[in-house]
Amino acid sequence: MAEELDWSNIGFGYRKTDYNVRCYYRDGKWGEIEVNSEETINIHMAATALHYGQEAFEGLKAYKCKDGKIRIFRPDANAERLQSTCRGILMPELPTEKFIDMVKKVVSMNERFIPPYGTGASLYIRPVMFGTGAQVGVRPAGEYVIIMFVTPVGPYFKGGFAATPYVVTRKFDRSAPLGTGIYKVGGNYAASLQANNWAHEQGYSCEFYLDAKEKKYIDEAGAANFFGIKHGVYVTPKSTSILPSITNRSLMQIAEDMGIKVERRQIAIEELEDMEEAGACGTAAVISPISRIDDPEVGKSYVIAKDGKPGPISEKLYNAIRAIQLGEAEDKHGWVLTL
C-alpha cells in the first residue's frame, strides 16, 4: 500500500501506481482519454518512435498541501512547451485543454500515491508522446499516442539544500545550435548519456555544456538550465540549443517581483569568475546550487560557493517558488492548478 512508503527516502525512480491515462491520434484527430492500469504498450515494430526518435516528453509535479488540496505547478506551460516540441518534430499538437484534463485525471485517480505534506516528496507526472505508426522511410508517422503516468518521488535534497560541483564537457555536445536542443525530445538525452556518465564517474553532480559552435558560452547543465547571480543580477543564458525551462522562467519572474534585475543573454564561461552564486534549475530539484564548475580540459576551476553553501539569493528564490507550489504564498501570476 502506498501509505506504507517511506516518503522521505523513496528517491527518484519509477514506482508502479494504479492508473495511467492515454489518448490516441488516428485518422487525423485525437480520440477520447482512456484510463489504463497496464504498464506496457503494444506498438508496431516499425513505429517511428523506435527508429527515428519521433518522441517527446514532459515533466511536472503535483503536491499535497497543508490545506489538504492538491496543487499542480504550471501545467498549461508544459502543454504549450509540448506543442512547441510537436511542431519541432512534426507530431500533431495536443490541445492545452486535453493535456490538462489528462493531468487532472491521472493525478486524481492516483491520489493515494501523492506523498503527504511535510515529507518533501511529491508526485512526478510524466507525459510521453510518440509516433506509433509504421514507416520505413524517414517521415512522420500517421498515428500517435500520448500517455501520462505518475510516480511518487522523494525530496531531491536528502541532507537539506546543498551546493554540489559540476564539470564542463568539451568532448561531447548535447545539441546543435539549430538542432533539437530547444525541444524536450528523448534524442537529446541519448546524446547526453556519455557525458553524463563521464561526469558521474568523476564524482560530479552533472555535466555542464557550452555552446556547441564556439565552445565559449554557457548552455545548460545536463537536464537543467543554468542561472548565476553576478553583482546581484540574475543572469541566465540565451541560446538556441537549450530547453526553455519552466522553472527558470518562473524564477526570472519571481526575481523581478523581488526587485532583482534579470538578464537573459549569452554568458561567456569566464564570467563565472565574477559570480557570487550559481544554480541549475528544473522541475526535479527546483534549484540545485552549484559549488564549483571545473573545466578540466583547459585546466580551469571556477569556485562559486567558497564555503560550499548555497547563496542567499538562491535560497530566497528557492523558498519563494516552493511556497507558491505548495499554496503557502500568493499565486499572483495564476500559475497553480488546484484540485
Q: Which residues contact ligand PLP (rule: CB under 6 A)? A: 59, 184, 220, 223-225, 243, 245-248, 282-283
User: Which is closer to ligand PLP, CB of 219 or CB of 295?
Assistant: 219
Q: Compute the least distance from the CB of residue 245 to ligand PLP, in Å.
A: 3
Q: Compute the least distance from the CB of residue 282 to ligand PLP, in Å.
A: 3
Tell me, rounded to whole angstroms, the distance of Cα 334 from its chain centroid: 20
- DSSP, res 25: E
Q: Compute the least distance from the CB of residue 321 to ligand PLP, in Å.
A: 10
Name the pairing type of β-strands 20-26 and 144-153.
antiparallel
User: Which is closer to ligand PLP, CB of 35 or CB of 178?
Assistant: 178
Q: Compute the least distance from the CB of residue 145 to ligand PLP, in Å.
A: 21
User: Which is closer to ligand PLP, CB of 229 or CB of 243?
Assistant: 243
State the CB neighbour count (10 A cutoff) for residue 197: 12
User: Which is closer to ligand PLP, CB of 92 or CB of 279?
Assistant: 279
User: Which is closer to ligand PLP, CB of 102 or CB of 191?
Assistant: 191
Q: Compute the least distance from the CB of residue 141 to ligand PLP, in Å.
A: 22
- DSSP, res 217: B
User: Which is closer to ligand PLP, CB of 143 or CB of 280?
Assistant: 280
Tell me, rounded to whole angstroms, the distance of Cα 44 from its chain centroid: 29
224: helix, strand or coil: strand
Q: What span, in angstroms and rounded, lies between the C-alpha atoms of 122 and 100?
A: 18
User: Which is closer to ligand PLP, CB of 103 or CB of 224?
Assistant: 224
Q: Are 277 and 238 in contact, with CB atoms under 8 Å apart?
A: no
- DSSP, res 23: E
**Exposure pattern of 306-317 as b/e (b: 16+ CB <10 Å)?**
eeeebbebbbeb
Instruction: Give the CB-side neighbour count of residue 94, counting CA atoms within 13 A.
Output: 35
- DSSP, res 151: E
Nearest to 141 by CA among 45, 70, 217, 58: 45
Cell matching residue 310: 548555497
Q: Match 486535453 to its residue by C-alpha cell.
A: 98
User: Which is closer to ligand PLP, CB of 59 or CB of 187?
Assistant: 59
Q: What span, in angstroms and rounded, lies between the C-alpha atoms of 336 and 6?
A: 27
Instruction: Give 269's contacts (C-beta < 8 A, 6+ positions apart).
Output: 168, 210, 216, 217, 218, 295, 302
Cell matching residue 30: 485525437
Q: Compute the least distance from the CB of residue 239 to ligand PLP, in Å.
A: 11
Q: Compute the least distance from the CB of residue 126 to ligand PLP, in Å.
A: 11
Q: Compute the least distance from the CB of residue 88 to ligand PLP, in Å.
A: 13
Q: Compute the least distance from the CB of residue 187 to ligand PLP, in Å.
A: 11
User: Which is closer to ligand PLP, CB of 43 or CB of 212?
Assistant: 212
